[in-house]
Structures are given as structure tokens and as C-alpha cells.
Amino acid sequence: MEKEYWRWPESRWTSSDIDWKTGDIISAGVDVGSVSSQAVVLVDGELFCYSNYRTGSDSPESAQKVMDKALEETDLTLEKIHHTVGTGYGRVNVPFANRAITEIACHARGANFMYGPSVRTILDMGGQDCKAIHCDEKGKVTNFLMNDKCAAGTGRGMEVFADLLSIPIEEMGKLSFKVEKEPEPVSSTCVIFAKSEAVGLLRKGWPKEKVLAAYSSAMAHRVVELLERIKVEKDFAVTGGIAKNEGVVKRIESELKIEALEPQHDTQIAGALGAALFAKALVEKERGLR
């Protein structure tokens, strides 16, 4: 079988020092994205377990699968979870969710938890869209913009390039710096046109690292343009799959002249984490605690 260069590693994690049985509120968030799905379980607002898997063609099935994976190595069951919030592109297709909340609200809330209350600007580079969010110290959205019409600057675009250049997707960031001099960015930000342009450059004899550098900087430039429409303010954080690609993140940082915060957890879980935090808040509201 041909190697699938685009395939990124799936993951799951369980906290070793939390016993869910002692928890008062067990809340969950499921983010069914266009490319990846995540499930996060919180025990009294502390991260208990999460999983990150590829979304299949069936959203309800993907939601179920990612939740099963999150709970896999724990003895917690779905029935024990008090409240579940669905988010993301397939949020209305999470069969066991009590409520659906947009990924914009969830990402801000999740990033506020992951990176701390100093985060003001969040760039979520998703599988098929790109979101620029400005939030306050409580993680409440104050300004947002989402571009889901065009795949430029998204994970899907990077997957296309991984395949074209036959480079495993996790190595793309590092390899994009193996150039003597930073090349001009590819002129088109559209994934389809950028791909044809890249094919042309490869024919011209450009090494693939140079083509990759040209594409990574075009991608960075493109999202910086989106970010500039909302207010870019420190602290700045990047979430989503592309946040793991230093080739794009470093180029965004140098264009913005702001450094991005170092992630503590899998950057792809921000949306699901925010959803789980909303689920907790909804339980508290129900119980009359807030």
C-alpha cells in the first residue's frame, strides 16, 4: 500500500491523579470537526481524559467513537457524565449531547483554560476553516471572524501538500526551515491553485523543502491578514492541528512580531475542552450554583 503522508497521529490521554468517583460534576465536550474529532472529560473542571481521532464520513458515529476512545482506559461510562456539550462542524450530530454550542465560543473558553486568562487573541487553524478570535480574561468572545469558505490556511491544505511532496505531515514544519534563503511565498493562497503552482516549481527544479517553505509562508501570510481584521493583542495562542506545525507558527509569529504561547496539551482539543467547560457551567446553572 502506498504511504499515507497526510495521516497525522491520533492520540488519547488520561490524568493519573484524578479519581472521577470523588467528583461532583463530570462534564464532557465533543468537538466533531471537518477533519478531526475530539472528546474531553472534566471532573470538577479538571482535565480527566481526552482523545483526538479522525472524523469519518458519518458524524454521529465519529462522535460516538471519539467518546468511546476517551473513556477507553478509564472505568468511567457515558451514563455517569452529567452533561455533554457538542461543538464544531458536526455539533448537531452528537447523539448523546445535551446541547450544541458554536466552536467560536468553545475555542475561546478552551484556550482560556489551556493557556491561562492572559490570552486575548486566538487563532484556530482547523481542518477546513480558520478562526480568528479575540476574547476577554474570562474567555468570553469579544470579536471573531471565521473563514470556512476557503481552505487556504487550513489543515486540509497542509494534508494536500504532504501528499504532493511525499513528506510525512509531522515532519513538514521542521523541513520547511531547511532552506538557505526564505523563498517568495507561492502567489496563490487557494489550495488548488497553490498546488498547481507548487507542481510548476517542482518541475523547475526547486527542492521540496523550498516549495514547502514557500507554501508555509503563503499560509502564514494569509492567516495574518485574517487576524488583522480583529484586534491582535498579546497574549497570542494558536490552536488546532496546524499549531503543531512550527513551520507555519514561526512564520506567523515573525509576521505578527508576537510570540505564540507554548501549548500544554494537544492543541486540537481546545474546542472540545471549551465545550466541556460550558457543560460544567450548565450543570452549575441547573443546580442553582450560579
Partner 1 sequence: MLAHYGYKDGSGDYFIVIDTDKCDGCGECVTACPYGVLEVGEDENDPFREEPVAKVTEDHRKKIKYSCAPCKPTSGKKPLPCVQACSPDAISHSW
**Closest CB to partner 1 among residues 104, 186:** 104
Q: Please list every residue from 81 through 110 that binds partner 1, using CB under 8 A.
A: 99, 101-102, 104-105
188 binds partner 1 (CB under 8 A): yes
Q: Minimum Å distance from CB 277 to partner 1?
A: 11
Q: Minimum Å distance from CB 194 to partner 1?
A: 11
Return the C-alpha cell found at 119. 490570552
Give Cβ neighbours of residue 127 (< 8 Å, ≥ 6 apart): 33, 34, 35, 36, 55, 154, 155, 156, 240, 241
Return the C-alpha cell found at 202. 517542482
How far apart, in whole angstroms, are the C-alpha atoms of residue 209 and residue 42? 41
Identify the residue among 142, 166, 196, 264 touching partner 1 (CB under 8 A): 142
230 binds partner 1 (CB under 8 A): yes
Amino acid at 154: T
How far apart, in whole angstroms, are the C-alpha atoms of residue 167 and residue 159? 10
**Closest CB to partner 1 among residues 54, 221:** 221
Q: Which residues pair with 135 in a beta bridge?
A: 141
Contact mark string toward partner 1, 42..81, x via CB under 8 A: ----------------------------------------
Contact mark string toward partner 1, 116..135, x via CB under 8 A: ------------------x-
**Closest CB to partner 1 among residues 193, 264:** 193
**Closest CB to partner 1 among residues 7, 99:** 99
**Closest CB to partner 1 among residues 141, 232:** 141
Yes or no: say if 268 and 171 are a contact pair by the CB < 8 Å rule: no
Identify the residue among 20, 144, 161, 236 touching partner 1 (CB under 8 A): 144
Which single residue is written with the C-alpha cell 471532573? Answer: 43
Q: Minimum Å distance from CB 284 to partner 1?
A: 12
CA 129 to chain centre: 10
How far apart, in whole angstroms, are the C-alpha atoms of residue 129 and residue 147? 6
Query: How many residues comprise the chain?
Result: 290
Question: What secondary structure letter does DSSP report for 88?
Answer: S
Q: Minimum Å distance from CB 135 to partner 1?
A: 9
Q: Please list every residue from 146 through 165 that binds partner 1, using CB under 8 A.
A: 146-150
Give Cβ neighbours of residue 91 (< 8 Å, ≥ 6 apart): 31, 32, 97, 100, 101, 102, 103
232 binds partner 1 (CB under 8 A): no
How far apart, in whole angstroms, are the C-alpha atoms of residue 153 and residue 223? 6
233 binds partner 1 (CB under 8 A): no
How far apart, in whole angstroms, are the C-alpha atoms of residue 193 and residue 94? 35
* Options 29-37, 169-177, 221-229, 238-246: segment touching partner 1 (CB under 8 A): 221-229
**Closest CB to partner 1 among residues 253, 284:** 284
- List of residues contacting partner 1 (CB under 8 A): 99, 101-102, 104-105, 134, 140-150, 188-190, 225-226, 229-230, 278, 281
